[in-house]
Amino acid sequence: MKPVRSVRPVLVVIAHGSRDPRHAATVHALVERVRAERPGLRVETGFLDFNLPSVQGVLESLAAEGVRDVVALPLLLTRAFHAKADIPAVLREAPARLRIRQADVLGPSPLLLAALERRLYEAGLTPADKSSTGVVLASAGSTDPEAIAVIAEIAREWRHTGWCAVRPAFASAGSPAGFPRTEDAVRDLRALGCARVAVAPYVLAPGFLPDRIVRGAAEADVLADVLGPAPEVARLLLERYDAARAPMLAAVGA
């Protein structure tokens, strides 16, 4: 078999995976949008757990085809355990012929804030509602200090764009002290005097923890959808890909 020669490294999107079929369907929809945004770029999807193809299987298939360069992009919003440990461990087991560069995680980014607002507006809010609406920035949760600090900073930054208030909240049971559950953050904003309360899930795809966010939003006025295949998220994937491939191209004089 002739080696496959390509100017562009293959983009391998690495998703967590879930027993919930909505998760994989949403990931694939996002990847399709990325392909549509940049025709000609080869994009593959691999899952860490629960779904196929596995990351290892995708990498082995690419190596067997003769692919040389790969950008591995974690489909993650924060640099927590999966980005720091799980994904590097999987990439270390990749075929030796592959030159792999791990891209940065997606967050934080102004594009994610734009996607969050898109979902809120799709759920019925308008820009005119911002000053009277409190928003719960509801993430899955983490015990990683870096990830926790990033979520808190995103909430602070978002508040400065005109919302009545923004409160971070975690869905996971292992949330750190000081980070309320979604339902508690909704009540806090109501007590603060916000005319309406909206919940914005800071998650990419449906699943167990996102469903907990939905249940926690029962007393909110507005519940936005997950980020999923929002156009801003697709553009962000391509930004992360371009940043990761630049040193690879420089190394080969491309």
pLDDT at 66: 97
pLDDT at 177 over 60: no
Non-local CB neighbours of 200 within 8 Å, separated by 6+ positions:
116, 119, 120, 135, 136, 137, 138, 224
pLDDT at 247: 85
Calculate the CA 88 to chain-centre distance: 18
What would the mean pLDDT of 215-227 be, rounded to a whole number? 98
What percent of the chain shows pLDDT beyond 90? Answer: 85
Name the residue among 132, 125, 189, 130 with its Cα closest to residue 161. 130
Answer left, alpha or beta for residue 175, where phi above 0 means left and psi between -120 and 50 means alpha. beta
pLDDT at 224 over 90: yes
Distance CA 35, CA 112 (A): 19
What percent of the chain shows pLDDT beyond 70? Answer: 93
Distance CA 199, CA 224 (A): 6
Distance CA 59, CA 136 (A): 38
Name the residue among 113, 221, 104, 109 with its Cα closest to residue 161. 113
Contact between 203 and 142 (Cβ < 8 Å): no
pLDDT at 120 over 80: yes
